[in-house]
Structure 1
Amino acid sequence: MKYSFEEIVHFDQQSNEWQWQLPTYFNICEACVDQHAATDKSSQAALIVEDEALGTSQVTYSQLGQKTSQFANLLQSLSLSKDNRILIRLPNSLEYPIAFFGTIKYSAIAVPTSTLLSASEVSYLANDSQASVLVTHKTMWPELENDLKDSSVQIVLLTGEGELPQSKRFKLIDFNEALNLQPTGFTGPKTELNDPAYLVYTSGTTGYPKGVLHAQRALLGRLPASRYWFDFQGGVSERIMHSGKFNWTYVLGSALMDPLLHGHTVIAYEGHNDAHTWPKLIQKHECSIFIGVPTIYRQIIQKTDYSGSDLPSLKHCMSAGEHLSDEMQTLWEERFNAPIYEAIGMSEISYYISQHKQAKVVPGAAGFIQPGHKVELLNDQLEPVANGEEGMICIRADDPGLFVSYWNLPEETVKAVHDGWFFTGDYAKRDDQNYVWFLGRKDDIINTFGFRVSPHEVERVIKAHPEVADCVALGEDVGKDKTLIVVCVIPEPDNNITEEQILDYGLQKLAKYKAPKKVYLVRDYPRTKNGKVLRKKLLQNLEQYLIKSHQ
């Protein structure tokens, strides 16, 4: 296999630093698909899709190579320029990687979007990215058509069964029929490391989503995670399943690009799901690695009777998106004999701090900076802080995994990347053993009576209470220069835990200044479409989330 960690990343004894040896030319589709289509992996399944309505389908590396070439040829036949943006709004399906990788093979820019977005939100992304092509499912098109009539979109490629709709405004094309008319070989100009590849959208500071543009090199920048989070080893074939959708950056990387780069098999699911869905699929497909978010792990523990003997293929699991409680890590490993390794990342660089198999997992610690990434905790003067001191996590601006720019937002890019560093906005401490202890966003850290308290530290402790299902810690202003630590707690089902019991527990387990002073018992939290808790919105709209008997 080309592009292994050992081939690209080396430790230089003389400089005592990790060095990258990057190729001049690189293409994500060639690395993830085409290189395997020319090996003994050609007949191996690259992707298996379990669709609740359509059943099971799969595509081999050889077939995916041919299909992505057909897609690239289709874009060429439409006379699209190489830097055109191709908006992808599809469910988890075989067509998703065909469109995503095929776009990149052609040297256009793939723009993944969520099927959960409203039509007006899709219209905003289309206009902001100036996408000329939309790839979506026939069942989704009717709700989008009207909102997109004034957008930049000219051509719509429609997947799925059924007749092709008619439109005077758009050029509508049947995805599969058009693909089948194209040759299965494609030879385009070589792409260089810094050529754009894909554009993802994340929450912006203005209230509108912000485009994050990544280059071809982004995939190589993820190699440290393949060794120090996934624990991919040469010659061992893995079967990997993620509980999320391909449009989410977390899933796009960890459940599509990363596994395929190393020639593994990905299992994806589309349909309604509950706690039993994931163990059933792990069992059916003999998955060796499962990737999810803390909510999924908690539901499986609470609502199913599955254990390690039911899932003998499972070697380890991975989690990101929000903090996984120490209690859940312990319960999961005891029951399934498969540890969960947590990681920290963001849309701009993916995952660069993680727990991993080669090092002991310390409760509460986020893990280590992955070898290969140059990361420092810096103070306001851009000086490294001492161990035990709080600093902003900053990443060297020449990191191969770092994004190119914020789309059409040059001032935002300059604010985030300067003086040789990318400022993540996240704060952390590092101990004498080099474990990183995540504190959170600057805005999330609670300033209470002269103390700075990480909400994650409070949450970690309160979540360990056996009758607490989940917890979010916030700072509530109750007067001028007077901020109290409050916790919004989702109780475990069918228990009668009280606010007083939680307050007492906090005083027993935390320093007095860190202990919560008020408790709200809630049904749920406001979340993004990817499940992340919206902390500010929770505090602003607390009344609507309170359990009625506690209002």
Structure 2
Amino acid sequence: MPLPAPAIARGYTGEPCPASFNIARYCLARAAKETPDKIALIVVGDADAPLENAERWTYGALDEAVRRVAAGLLAEGFAPGERLMIRMPNTSDYALLFFGALAAGIVPLPSSSQLTAEEADFLLSDSAASAVALAPGMTMHTNDAKVIDAAMLERLKAHAPRVAYADTAANDPAFLVYTSGTSGRPKGVLHAHRSAWGRRPMYQGWYGIEASDTMLHAGAFNWTYTLGVGLTDPWANGATTVLYNGEKDVQVWPKLMEKTHATLFAAVPTLYRQILKYCDLAAHDISALRHGLTAGEALSPALLDQWCAATGKELYEALGMSECSTYVSTAPGMEIRAGSPGRPQPGRCVAALPVEGGSEPLPSGEVGLLAVHRSDPGLMLGYWRRPDEEAEVYRGEWFIGGDLASFDDAGYMHYHGRADDLMNAMGYRVSPQEVEAALATHPDVQEVAVTELRVRDDLSVIAAFVVPKEASEPDAASILGWADARLAAYKRPREVVFVSGLPRTANGKVMRRALARS
């Protein structure tokens, strides 16, 4: 017989966010005043070069540069509340623009440098951004949007600094990120300035972060995992963060752990798996590392055991989403239960709700829809111009993200998959409809369905099941090349399976999960 539902406070119980709140001020102003000469950011372009060659920013210099960019943006005619799209690689300029926009009350839209021009065009159009910051060599249709090129960026950085950060309210729009939508089109997730305050339960509920830490994050800035764990949280705690923007090579990460004396390392499980497979960890001194952090995809018990055996360091997992960042995790001093990402972080109100309806949390052991209380300060303001999709994710006082989960008697969460067809690719949520729409235009494709395909116990890939047109010669390489030209790398299928037909329900809906089991 299941245990009764655990008694949970109906609402967020952490310290409330101040009414006047600005993310950039929260992250930078205190450290700039108290420890202006402390290193806030190290940018490494070559993992083999001496660390002395790396770009370094103190808190004092970073605070001033952000306020310079904020003042420059306003002087160039940008108004608070306008969207500013950023399409650049991982550089200090990306960070300065993102935080500079926040400091001016402008709403930055971080995007991936991996996006194709067509994908980037959609984000610019859908967000109605007034400007886009483009790295050299990147092309897209900017329409009427102003382009922040290298010359303008230098003007912004040279402007006299703004005296103070924008006096934004906690609920004012802060930044916009895009994630996969159920319609197949990416949808904008609009976050308030309070979202940074809503990350405070992670500090000790996941990281165990201190001002003495050095955070090395392996992600890209378009992802809230990187913007939060790699920049926002270390800076809010007066710690040092390390950014790498050189050639992609798994070998760089142990080198950087050793060279920077990183105490915290954050990545997706796939990268930890690659490090174990391709790197000689014994050849590197990573003794400064206290532990690793992982999120974005499920951490298998086997990978956890392998990492701990190889390094003697723990891995602490977290579960989150673009709409609320992470809210369930393990942490230093907490028991790790194999197969569980942990418990709700202190102050969070998280529950499993009945799939078919109702707002009363289910008893321990019963599987339901994972839900976060609407009072959580980390929860989004809403979906950008998508009222229909927004209405689908709220049930009374709860936000429901589409994950199926249960809680055991000790409060540990256990994941039971998705209630919809959204896929997980390297930590990014990817809509099968978006991938299918790109592949369906291939001249030899009659029908296509896309789903996750498990190739190992601990590894899934995106696979395309294709019904070829009659008289065509099935050519997987051609279809994969077609995807390469139309989709960001993390959205592209890794496998093409040719089939004679797609399984459908009586109403004609494709049964994607049945394909994965066939």
Q: TM-score, normalised by structure 1?
A: 0.74
User: Which AA in structure 2 matches 1:489?
Assistant: R
The answer for the alignment partner of 2:19 in structure 1 is 24
Tell me if 1:381 matches 2:358.
yes
- For 2:407 and 2:334, locate their aligned partners in 1 and report how far apart those are by CA, in whole Å: 16
Q: Is the CA contact 1:426–1:442 (under 8 Å) kept in the aligned structure 2?
A: yes
- For 2:267 and 2:76, locate their aligned partners in 1 and report how far apart those are by CA, in whole Å: 38
Tell me if 1:218 matches 2:195.
yes
Tell me if 1:242 matches 2:197.
no
- For 1:417 and 1:374, locate their aligned partners in 2 and report how far apart those are by CA, in whole Å: 15
Q: Is the CA contact 2:26–2:236 (under 8 Å) kept in the aligned structure 1?
A: yes
The answer for the alignment partner of 1:372 in structure 2 is 347
Shift of 1:366: 1.5
- For 1:430 and 1:384, locate their aligned partners in 2 and report how far apart those are by CA, in whole Å: 10
The answer for the alignment partner of 1:252 in structure 2 is 227
- For 1:338 and 1:248, locate their aligned partners in 2 and report how far apart those are by CA, in whole Å: 26
Q: Is the CA contact 2:32–2:59 (under 8 Å) kept in the aligned structure 1?
A: yes
The answer for the alignment partner of 1:542 in structure 2 is 497
The answer for the alignment partner of 1:342 in structure 2 is 317
Tell me if 1:272 matches 2:247.
yes
Shift of 1:490: 8.7
Residue from 21, 27, 35 that aligns with 2:30: 35
- For 1:190 and 1:529, locate their aligned partners in 2 and report how far apart those are by CA, in whole Å: 37
Please give the residue correspondences for 1:300-315 in structure 2 after superposition, counting only pairs within 5 Å. Answer: 300-307=275-282, 310-315=285-290
The answer for the alignment partner of 2:43 in structure 1 is 49
- For 1:325 and 1:308, locate their aligned partners in 2 and report how far apart those are by CA, in whole Å: 26
- For 2:458 and 2:336, locate their aligned partners in 1 and report how far apart those are by CA, in whole Å: 27
Tell me if 1:443 matches 2:398.
no
- For 1:418 and 1:138, locate their aligned partners in 2 and report how far apart those are by CA, in whole Å: 45
Shift of 1:62: 0.8
Tell me if 1:187 matches 2:187.
no
Shift of 1:382: 2.3
Tell me if 1:157 matches 2:148.
yes
Q: TM-score, normalised by structure 2?
A: 0.78
Change in Cα spacing, 1:298 to 1:189, as seen in structure 2 (3 Å) is closer
Tell me if 1:109 matches 2:107.
yes
Structure 1: gaps (5+ residues): 1-12, 160-172, 446-484, 493-523, 545-551
- For 2:37 and 2:364, locate their aligned partners in 1 and report how far apart those are by CA, in whole Å: 50
The answer for the alignment partner of 1:399 in structure 2 is 376
- For 1:87 and 1:431, locate their aligned partners in 2 and report how far apart those are by CA, in whole Å: 42
Q: Is the CA contact 1:248–1:530 (under 8 Å) kept in the aligned structure 2?
A: no
Q: Give the 3-state SS of the residue equivalent to 2:13 in structure 1.
A: strand
Residues 121-169 of structure 1, C-alpha deviations (whole Å, 9 max, x = no match): 11111111111111122232xx23xx22xx341x22223xxxxxxxxxx
- For 1:253 and 1:529, locate their aligned partners in 2 and report how far apart those are by CA, in whole Å: 22
- For 1:17 and 1:80, locate their aligned partners in 2 and report how far apart those are by CA, in whole Å: 35
Tell me if 1:290 matches 2:285.
no
- For 2:113 and 2:342, locate their aligned partners in 1 and report how far apart those are by CA, in whole Å: 33
Q: Is the CA contact 1:24–1:193 (under 8 Å) kept in the aligned structure 2?
A: yes
User: Which AA in structure 2 matches 1:21?
Assistant: P
Residues 51-104 of structure 1, C-alpha deviations (whole Å, 9 max, x = no match): 149962121111111111111111111222211111111111111111001100
Q: Is the CA contact 1:26–1:216 (under 8 Å) kept in the aligned structure 2?
A: yes
Structure 2: gaps (5+ residues): 1-7, 423-451, 460-479, 500-518
Shift of 1:319: 0.7
The answer for the alignment partner of 1:162 in structure 2 is none
Residues 227-276 of structure 1, C-alpha deviations (whole Å, 9 max, x = no match): 1111124xx41000111111111111111111111111110111222221
**Highest RCO, 1 vs 2 (Cα 8 Å, sep ≥ 6):** 2
Residue from 370, 383, 386 that aligns with 1:409: 386
Change in Cα spacing, 1:118 to 1:530, as seen in structure 2 (3 Å) is closer
User: Which AA in structure 2 matches 1:311?
Assistant: I
How much identity, in percent, do the aligned residues show? 34
Shift of 1:487: 4.2
Q: Is the CA contact 2:383–2:390 (under 8 Å) kept in the aligned structure 1?
A: yes
Q: Tell me which stretches of 4 or more aligned residues in structure 1 moved more than 2 Å.
A: 13-22, 52-55, 184-189, 380-383, 485-492, 526-532, 541-544
The answer for the alignment partner of 2:94 in structure 1 is 96
Q: Give the 3-state SS of the residue equivalent to 2:372 in structure 1.
A: strand
- For 1:109 and 1:491, locate their aligned partners in 2 and report how far apart those are by CA, in whole Å: 38
Change in Cα spacing, 1:105 to 1:183, as seen in structure 2 (3 Å) is same
Q: Is the CA contact 1:49–1:92 (under 8 Å) kept in the aligned structure 2?
A: no
Residues 359-400 of structure 1, C-alpha deviations (whole Å, 9 max, x = no match): 111111121011111111111222221111101111111110
Change in Cα spacing, 1:158 to 1:214, as seen in structure 2 (3 Å) is same
The answer for the alignment partner of 2:179 in structure 1 is 202
Superposition RMSD in Å: 2.8
- For 1:188 and 1:315, locate their aligned partners in 2 and report how far apart those are by CA, in whole Å: 34
The answer for the alignment partner of 1:324 in structure 2 is 299
Q: Give the 3-state SS of the residue equivalent to 2:198 in structure 1.
A: helix
Shift of 1:486: 8.0
Change in Cα spacing, 1:187 to 1:356, as seen in structure 2 (3 Å) is closer
Residues 489-525 of structure 1, C-alpha deviations (whole Å, 9 max, x = no match): 3999xxxxxxxxxxxxxxxxxxxxxxxxxxxxxxx9x
- For 2:494 and 2:95, locate their aligned partners in 1 and report how far apart those are by CA, in whole Å: 36
Shift of 1:418: 3.8
Shift of 1:328: 1.2
Shift of 1:188: 5.3
The answer for the alignment partner of 1:451 in structure 2 is none
Tell me if 1:422 matches 2:399.
yes
- For 1:116 and 1:340, locate their aligned partners in 2 and report how far apart those are by CA, in whole Å: 28
Q: Give the 3-state SS of the residue equivalent to 2:149 in structure 1.
A: strand
Change in Cα spacing, 1:334 to 1:82, as seen in structure 2 (3 Å) is same
Q: Give the 3-state SS of the residue equivalent to 1:187 in structure 2.
A: coil
Which stretch of structure 1 is more off in the superposition, 304-313 or 327-336? 304-313
User: Which AA in structure 1 matches 2:85?
Assistant: L
User: Which AA in structure 2 matches 1:542?
Assistant: V
Shift of 1:108: 0.8
Shift of 1:179: 2.2
Residues 183-232 of structure 1, C-alpha deviations (whole Å, 9 max, x = no match): 12333551110001000000112221100000000001111111111112
User: Which AA in structure 1 matches 2:202?
Assistant: A
